[in-house]
């Protein structure tokens, strides 16, 4: 169902984004692998996409800026002529370190702004950037990556969780308008995903505690997020919009 589809995956040079990019490529889609600094890693993801039969290009762009979004959209249109799917995976650099995190009384507004710019602003700019192409064809799927911490803040990362909560509100609100022009928007809320660059400092004791509390008995790896994203991108979910799917082994049940 994804053959000949064109998909932009923001922040896809490594971790969850890289796994998603490879999953789309294996399903026959053409993939734009977005990176900000990690060009070498992005090139490796492109090679992996091509190895499984997909087309891919790497585009270096800061998608939290209008200039960066303009660049990635222009490169996509030049290479493939359209955008069918957008995955908003990028977020501001963040280290998940339960022991050394800022407490509520230590938070400054700039902490929140940094995360909001990295998640919500980047998502919004990219959405606005791809809408003309999607509206032209009267179809499209947008998937926003959020976090199960919004529903279950097992570690209260104040700024990160607040920004991810904003993504859920954005998803629901935008879905109302976009549905009238044939475009769907949904969200994926993973739990702790290990290993990634952001979660490399996660202590074994926390991973064990989460595994014990999870009905499926383990924490997620990057590949666990791929299937739900592909589902929301495909026609299998053609009557699904405005939803948040929790991908955390049943830790959150809604």
The full set of domains in the chain, from first to last, is 6-247 (3.40.50.720)
pLDDT confidence of residue 234: 98
pLDDT confidence of residue 202: 80
By C-alpha distance, which of 89, 211, 217 is closest to 146?
Answer: 89
Q: Which of 157, 160, 170, 246 is catalytic?
A: 160
pLDDT confidence of residue 204: 86
Q: Which residues 6+ apart lie within 8 Å of 80 measured at CB?
A: 6, 30, 55
Between CA 160 and CA 134 the distance in angstroms is: 30
Active site residue 160: yes
Pairing state between β 55-60 and 30-35: parallel
pLDDT confidence of residue 82: 98
By C-alpha distance, which of 42, 33, 252, 28 is closest to 153?
Answer: 252
* 23 and 41 Cβ atoms separated by less than 8 Å: no
Count Cβ neighbours within 10 Å for each residue of 210-223 and write b for 16 or more, e otherwise: beeebeeeebbebe
Per-residue pLDDT tens, the chain, 254 aa: give them: 899 999 999 999 999 999 999 999 999 999 999 999 999 999 999 999 999 999 999 999 999 999 999 999 999 999 999 999 999 999 998 888 888 899 999 999 999 999 999 999 999 999 999 999 999 999 999 999 999 999 999 999 999 999 999 999 999 999 999 999 999 999 999 999 988 877 877 888 888 999 999 999 999 999 999 999 999 999 999 999 999 999 999 999 98
Between CA 168 and CA 17 the distance in angstroms is: 19
């Amino acid at each position: 169902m994804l053959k000949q589809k064109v998909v932009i995956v923001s922040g896809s040079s490594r971790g969850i984004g890289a796994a998603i990019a490879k999953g789309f490529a294996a399903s026959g889609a053409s993939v734009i692998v977005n990176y900000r600094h990690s060009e070498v890693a992005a090139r490796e993801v492109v090679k992996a996409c091509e190895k499984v039969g997909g087309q891919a290009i790497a585009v270096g762009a800061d998608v939290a800026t209008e200039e960066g979004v303009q660049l990635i959209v222009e490169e996509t249109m030049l290479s493939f002529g359209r955008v069918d799917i957008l995955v908003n995976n990028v977020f501001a650099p963040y280290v998940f370190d339960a022991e050394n995190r800022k407490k509520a009384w230590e938070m400054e507004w700039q902490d929140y702004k940094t995360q909001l710019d990295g998640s919500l602003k980047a998502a919004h700019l990219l959405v606005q950037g791809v809408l003309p192409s999607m509206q032209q064809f009267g179809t499209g799927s947008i998937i926003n990556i959020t976090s199960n911490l919004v529903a279950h803040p097992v570690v209260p990362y104040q700024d990160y969780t607040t920004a991810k909560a904003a993504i859920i509100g954005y998803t629901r609100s935008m879905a109302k308008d976009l549905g009238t022009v044939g475009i769907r928007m949904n969200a994926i809320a993973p739990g702790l995903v290990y290993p990634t660059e952001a979660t490399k400092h996660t202590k074994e004791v926390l991973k064990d505690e989460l595994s014990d509390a999870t009905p499926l008995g383990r924490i997620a790896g990057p590949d666990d997020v791929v299937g739900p994203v592909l589902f929301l991108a495909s026609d299998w979910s053609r009557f699904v919009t405005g939803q948040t799917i929790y991908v955390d082994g049943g830790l959150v049940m809604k």
